[in-house]
Amino acid sequence: MASSFLPIAPLNAPRKLAGYDFYHSILGSPKYIVAPMVDASELAWRRLSRRYGAQLVYTPMINAKHFRRPGKYGDGQFDRVHGEEGDPSTDRPLIVQFCAHDPDDFLESAKIVAPHCDAVDLNLGCPQDIAKRGHYGSFLQDEWDLIYRMIDNLHQNLEIPVTAKFRIFDDVDKTVEYAKMLEKAGAQILTVHGRTREQRGQNTGLASWDHIRAVKQAVSVPVFANGNILFQEDIQRCLDYTGCDAVMTAEGNLYNPLILNGLNGPPIFPTIPKHLPRPKVSSYMSDPQHLPPPLIALEYLDIVKSLDTDTTLSAVKGHLFKLLRPAIVQHSELRNKMGKIGKGSLTYKEGGLQPWIDVCEELWTLMCEIGSNSSAEVVAASDVSYWLTQPYFRPGPSWERQRRAPEPEYLEDLTVQSSTSLSIPGQIPTLSSIDAVAVS
Helix, coil or strand: residue 119: strand
* C-beta of residue 120 within 8 angstroms of C-beta of residue 154: yes
Candidates 265, 259, 251, 319; CA nearest to 45 is 319
For 172-217, list the strands marked E by DSSP.
190-193
From 117, 126, 244, 368, the catalytic residue:
126
Q: How many separate helices (H) and strands (E) can be counted in the chain? A: 16, 13
What is the spatial distance between Cα 435 and Cα 440, in angstroms, rounded to a whole number?
16
Residues 6+ apart with CB under 8 A from 65: 100, 101, 102, 105
Length of the chain: 440
* DSSP 8-state code for residue 265: S
What is the spatial distance between Cα 252 and Cα 393, in angstroms, rounded to a whole number?
10
Residue 126 among the catalytic residues = yes
Cα 326 versus chain centre, distance:
20
> How many other C-beta atoms can be found within 10 angstroms of the C-beta atom of residue 170?
13
* C-beta of residue 59 within 8 angstroms of C-beta of residue 36: yes
> How many other C-beta atoms can be found within 10 angstroms of the C-beta atom of residue 88?
11
Q: How far apart, in Å, are the Cα atoms of 166 and each of 194, 226, 287?
A: 9, 10, 34
Q: What is the DSSP string of 27-77?
A: S----EEEPP-TTTS-HHHHHHHHHTT-SEEEPPPEEHHHHTS-SHHHHTT
Cβ burial, residue 331 (10 Å; 0-12/13-18/19+): middle
Beta strands 393-394 and 437-438, pairing class: antiparallel
Candidates 365, 227, 240; CA nearest to 295 is 365
> How many other C-beta atoms can be found within 10 angstroms of the C-beta atom of residue 247?
26
What is the spatial distance between Cα 339 and Cα 324, in angstroms, rounded to a whole number?
13
**Annotated active-site positions, please?**
126
